[in-house]
Amino acid sequence: MRAMATAALLVATTAAGASAQGFGQGPSGFIVENPVLRRIWALGMDSSQASRFAQVLLDSVGPRLTASPGMESGQDWLVQTYQRMGITARKERYGTWRGWRRGRSHLDLVQPRVRSLEAMILAWSPGTNGQTVRGEVVGLPSGDSTAFNSWIGSVRGKVVMVSNPQPTCRPESSWQEHATPQTLERMRAARTANNQAWARRLQSLGVSGPGAANRLVARLEEAGAVGILQSNWSNGWGVNKIFSTNAQRVPVYDVSCEDYGLLWRLAENNQGPVVDLMAESEALGEIPVFNVIGEIRGRELPNEYVMLSAHFDSWDGSSGATDNGTGTVVMLEAMRLLREAYPNPRRTILVGHWSGEEQGLNGSRAFAAENPRIVQGLQALFNQDNGTGRVVNMSAAGLVGATPFLAKWLGQIPADLTRHIDFGFTGSPSGGGSDNASFICSGAPGFSLGSGSWDYGTYTWHTNRDTYDKISWDDVKNNAVLTAMLVYLASEERERVPRDRRGVMAPQGQQQQPGQWPTCQPGQRATPQN
């Protein structure tokens, strides 16, 4: 209880002190006299390299799907970039994964009129061997499982739509702004009825429940379909979520909400939609996968560690800019700042650029499992994952004794960097949302640097619009300087951050059962077999 009271007092006093003083304006002894913090600030604010790093990574390298040529190219670039800075960096193998190369893909409506459609194949989709394939477009039937079994015999040579067509691709916010209250309510009722009807259709056909989507794709392939179309609308203007498929023989496309609705209406009204599709892709087999680890060796306590953490992999519907190119660039830039302003740290500084996060934190979980010495010696880990916004959320991740340390460090950092941060006392450990979960599960101090929204969930997270132009550079610079300062202060801290865990966890689940500290998961070291 004394520790909790002290922590609360520290949070209040340091936050007040930081918000009252800008950088260089505090009394004697407050930041101004710390040459390392001053140097980090000057380097990060006046000569940031973040946008230059991101332009190469996002525009030239592009998306970094696990086990793809883009991932290999990006990791090689990352290692070389660190080496040019004078920072030791290496690729560490943690397993294998299903390799795949994306090529060109097209989907064109050719009957009853011509239109090039906005569509792309999903990750790990088969291609058409470079050939253009033509097929009539049909939707899933209505009826029961008997009707479905009868219908599926008719799909040979056809292109099948398997998603629910939206009644409107106009976002809810647009209806709220422009529609009358009566029109808004009718739209909402129509959307609800549409979703419920689709769920009943799938259930009646016997293609609902866990694993149903993969089973449906397999049955359509066996029945001779030449293409499969889906649409995973993100509820924003022109935005879809782009994930992966387990298809083995025919291409699976994601189609924009608008164009998918067009095809569905043509098919439903017996107007004979026919499409041409062409897709290039190459299955590369099970190939090695790696994390990238950078290191600045500690001068006094080389076997104690402060870590910077961000996942490097992305989905490949776009460039992977805010998930997690921004987190990658924050850590890369922070390491540059530390190398120039703090080249001889007290503790060893490590940076982990993880692979396989999107498949289940596989890279970071493997690293934690293979490096118990580092996990045991971890002073603090700072992970950033969720978008381009400045850091606005932090907590002690359920470690009661960590709060005073985080509060003290934040109190020494300029108010320009901290005034937006909502600190959660004592917080809860991450159960698996990002790579800090791979460390906090064992009680190691793994902290998340949570970013502001910037429409992340709707417009950039796992979408076809996650591109360089969506980045807020002032916020990325802010986060890189903040991270570098936190790492410096954690490295110089005279004491170890304690690992005592909160005794009572927040209730979880619909039954509101008492929460439990998350258990460490091993991570997958190879592609699961279907």
CB 414 within 8 A of CB 381: no
Would you state the structure tokens that stand for residue 364, as one six-digit string? 């970071």
* Closest C-alpha among 452, 400, 298, 332 to residue 54: 332
> Which residue matches tokens 């381009």?
388
Omega prior to 426 cis, within 30 of 0: yes
CB 308 within 8 A of CB 487: yes
Residue 515 pLDDT: 83
Q: What per-residue confidence (pLDDT) applies to 507?
A: 75
How many residues are listed for the chain in this entry? 530
CA nearest 410: which of 423, 398, 401?
A: 423
Q: Give the three-state DSSP class for 107.
A: strand
Cis peptide leading into 324, omega within 30 of 0? yes
Who wins on pLDDT, 24 or 190?
Answer: 190
- pLDDT, position 505: 82
pTM of the model: 0.94
- Reported confidence tier of residue 498, pLDDT bands at 50, 70, 90: very high
**Does pLDDT of 341 surpass 90?**
yes
pLDDT at res. 118: 98
R_g over Cα of the chain: 26
3-state secondary structure 407-431: HHHHHCCCHHHHCCCEEECCCCCCC
Whether 298 shows a pLDDT value over 60: the answer reads yes
For residue 13, pLDDT beyond 80: no
> Considering only CA atoms, which of 374, 352, 346 is closest in space to residue 295?
352
Both structure tokens of 101: 């190369």
Distance CA 231, CA 317 (A): 13
H or E element, residue 440: helix 437-440
Bridge partners of residue 179, in order along the sequence: none
Query: In this structure, what token pair is assigned to residue 184?
Result: 């808004």
List the one residue out of 480, 490, 479 whose CA is nearest residue 402: 490
Task: Quickly state the pLDDT bin for 97 (edges 50, 70, 90).
Answer: very high
- pLDDT tens for residues 357-377? 999 999 999 999 999 999 999
Question: What structural domains does the chain harbor?
Answer: 2-99+286-492 (3.40.630.10), 113-272 (3.50.30)
Per-residue confidence band for 346, with pLDDT thresholds at 50, 70 and 90? very high
Enter the tokens of residue 438. Answer: 């791979």
- Which residues have C-beta within 8 Å of that of residue 197, sequence separation ≥ 6? none
Can you tell me which residue has the tokens 């807020």?
Answer: 472
Say whether pLDDT at 26 is over 90: no
Q: Using one digit for the tens of pLDDT, what is the confidence trace for 210-258?
A: 999 999 999 999 999 999 999 999 999 999 999 999 999 999 999 999 9
